[in-house]
Chains A and B, each alone.
Chain A
Amino acid sequence: MKVNCDINVHHLTRVEGHGNIKISIQDGVLREATWEVVETPRFFEAMLVGKKWDNAPWICGRICGICSIGHTLASIRAVENAFAMVPSPQTVKLRVLLKHMETLQSHILHLYFLAAPDFLNIGSVFPLISSSPEVVARAAGLKKLANDMCDCVGGRRLHPTTTVVGGFTMLPDRKRLADFQRQLADAVPGLLATAELFKTFTLPDFARETEFVSLKGESDYPFIGGDLVSTDGVVKAEDEYRQMTNEYLVDQSTSKWSKLSREAFSVGALARINNNFKFLHPAAQEVAAMFGLAPVNHNPYMNNIAQLVECVHVVYDSIQLIDELLATPWQEPRQQVTPKSGLGVAAVEVPRGILYHCYEFNQTGQIVKCDCIIPTSQNHANIQYDLTALAGQFAAEGMRDRELELLAEMLVRAYDPCISCSVH
């Protein structure tokens, strides 16, 4: 039994953005366990007002430095839905391929650079450069492949340039795509080695029953558009997203919070797998089995493994997508855009979970109202409830301050939060 403890982590490291963890135990009673978000708001939803439709993807991509491709694609889909446009099959495939590569680079960045150091008891990935150069080289190689493919399809790995409402400004070189397809096949052993590495780590033994929200797969593991689903059985249409998110404001956070059937819910790789496990590629399901990951898993630390499983899935799916793309000659890259007044909603699965963009346009195609709901803002409340449960459980077990602090930090990192994104 822990009697007294005072943990105060100011600006948690190895996460995107600014958040604090506070845990206080006095005379054996948990007084406080708080996940505080102190990020400065940038007011994207206000900035967009009065801007013409073509500005939206360009500006909104800048919400996030890690998942700018996801934001750009969500923004484009919201505009296209508002203007009743249907993207061509070629555009759909290229967008999913581009998104897959963002998922791969983001998950690898998180797994190796942000999460792994905790399990290896080091402060950053940098000491590994001399102690385990092959591990760093593997991480860098996987990330580089994903990023190079983002350059090839999206024009740029960060804040993409070719992605526009209606399609693409230009199409990737077919020979390079074929080349990348071979490199993706060669990357599989690197992912399996990553699985072996993570198999040597011990995930904290903690679970809290949670509601998980994601897109609902119909025949595939879903990434762009479609119905919304929760593990508690809620199903909504894409444009009913507000009923799925129910945003509200709290004093401890400059980011809004969300809830659905319970006090909080979770989004992200683990939520996607919990809702859509059967649509994962068989090779990805095998990696999940290595870690005993099967739906519905309620251990938030398992999100690390869920990301790894998704890496395997997106690599196999990208190989398949490139096959399909190369089977037919390139079609017209871009459709004409005819603006009209109305509302457009997009739901897109980005690395950290489900992302919504919603714009209302006037007749000339100017934005009059904008709403973006970020995966991490949907996760903040769940992080808070997890943290309270975690502090309570491990304090009762008499864990030392430093260990509890590390577990609390690892808990937040497991969500791979994108805090500046969540405040936007």
Chain B
Amino acid sequence: MTETSGKKTFLGVPVYRPKVAFFELSSCEGCQLQILNNEGTLLDFLSLVEVVKFREGMSGGSDDYEIAFVEGSVTRPDEEARLKEIRKNAKILVAFGSCACFGGVNQLKNRFSLDWVKKEVYGDHPIETAEVKPLEAVVPVDLRIYGCPVKKEEVERIVTALAIGSDIAYPKYPVCMECKANGNICLFDVGEPCLGPITQAGCDAWCPNSRAGCWGCRGPAVDSNVEQLIRIMEQYGFSKDTIIDRLECFGGFASYAGQLRSGQKI
């Protein structure tokens, strides 16, 4: 790509720079920070898109955008209203990270009644909160970028595809495949629980590469066999509680965790 008089061109043709905006609902804002954490490729990334709103990084901004990246989950009525407004403005709405895709760690709150969680943290002080929902429970979502946190390489790959209008493909295999390809020893053999065999790939087995078992932050892989994984984990001696902890942590497998907890067959 070359730059002449401020316009990026590729083979002499001007490159289209979509206007993008970043928003956050209930979250740690870490997925957005991953953008600023791309020091090595940040400038390239910024030449690909035109950032018109990014509250954490810039003052001002505009509501004229095509792609909205929304981080976080919906946990209060005013967030539903904000999200609907963003949906109205955006051509493409991207659920950015596990909180937006599945509720993330926030949805662990849904194990309890709202009255109890409010009392536990705020006592009798009035506080507003609601059941935690992923974005798609409130508005249609066009695209999902998984992970807690999202992986910068994957974000760049997807944004590049969006900018040049090519198809966005997700791996059709689980994290376990990536882990094997990286030559790691199987964590089951060293006593570490892992959801690699059922979790959507694309992170290059980020956690297992560090000998930390997968917690399923990217949600289920295509055709994942959760029932079989539970059986294997039981054979390796992992307790039911350990398996539930893993399955329910980020929300992608919450329904399986719920079934397991209530003793139903999966």
Contacts and interface: CB of A to CB of B under 8 A. Distances in A.
A190 to B, nearest CB: 13
Nearest to A155: B210
Contacts of A66: 29-30, 33
Nearest to A61: B28
A52 B25 CA distance: 28
A123 interface: yes
B33 A161 contact: no
Contact of A40 (B55, B129, B215): B129
Most buried by B among A62, A109, A125, A136: A62
A25 B106 CA distance: 40
B36 A50 contact: no
Nearest to B107: A47
A17 interface: yes
B42 interface: yes
A117 interface: yes
Contacts of B40: 140, 144
Contacts of B56: 13-16
Interface stretch (A162-170, A203-211, A313-321, A348-356): A162-170
B121 to A, nearest CB: 5
A119 interface: no
Contacts of B39: 140-141, 143-144, 147
A281 interface: no
Interface residues of A, number: 57
Given A155-B212, A158-B34, A169-B212, A43 B58 contact: no
Contact of B29 (A16, A52, A141, A254): A16
A291 interface: no
A161 B206 contact: yes
Contacts of A114: 57
Interface stretch (B110-118, B137-145, B159-167): B110-118
Contacts of B125: 249
Interface string A80-124: 000000000000000000000000000001000110010000011
A224 B147 CA distance: 29
Contact of A42 (B26, B36, B123, B206): B26
A62 B28 contact: yes
A43 B57 CA distance: 26
B127 interface: yes
Contact of B109 (A46, A65, A136): A46
Given A46-B120, A147-B39, A158-B33, A59 B57 contact: no
A421 B28 contact: yes
B30 A159 contact: yes
B28 A40 contact: no
B181 interface: no
Interface in A35-68: 40-47, 49-52, 54-55, 58-59, 62-66, 68
B108 A64 contact: no
A106 to B, nearest CB: 10
B172 to A, nearest CB: 25
Given A62-B148, A109-B36, A164 B212 contact: yes
Nearest to B212: A161
A136 B42 CA distance: 11
Contacts, number: 160
B211 to A, nearest CB: 4
Nearest to A137: B43
Interface string A12-40: 01111100000000000000000000001
Chain B: interface size category? 35 or more
B63 interface: no
A65 B33 contact: yes
B57 to A, nearest CB: 6
A114 B54 CA distance: 12
Contacts of B241: 52
A356 to B, nearest CB: 15
B76 interface: yes
B10 interface: no
Contacts of A157: 37
Nearest to B30: A65
A158 B98 CA distance: 14
B234 to A, nearest CB: 17
Contact of A156 (B31, B59, B206): B206
B208 to A, nearest CB: 9
Nearest to A129: B43
A50 B215 CA distance: 18
Contacts of B90: none
Given A40-B129, A55-B249, A64 B28 contact: yes
A52 B117 contact: no
A276 interface: no
A170 B184 CA distance: 13
Given A52-B242, A65-B31, A164-B212, A46 B121 contact: yes
B184 to A, nearest CB: 11
A156 B29 CA distance: 16
Given A126-B51, A420-B26, 11 more contacts: A41-B127, A43-B121, A43-B129, A62-B28, A65-B32, A117-B59, A156-B206, A158-B34, A169-B210, A170-B210, A249-B122
5 contacts: A17-B29, A41-B127, A62-B105, A141-B39, A420-B24
Interface of B: 24-34, 36-37, 39-40, 42-43, 46, 51, 54-60, 75-76, 79, 104-106, 108-109, 111-112, 116-117, 120-123, 125, 127, 129, 148-149, 206-207, 209-212, 215, 241-242, 245, 249
Top 4 A-B residue pairs of the complex, sorted by shortest distance between their CB atoms: A65-B30, A124-B58, A155-B210, A144-B39
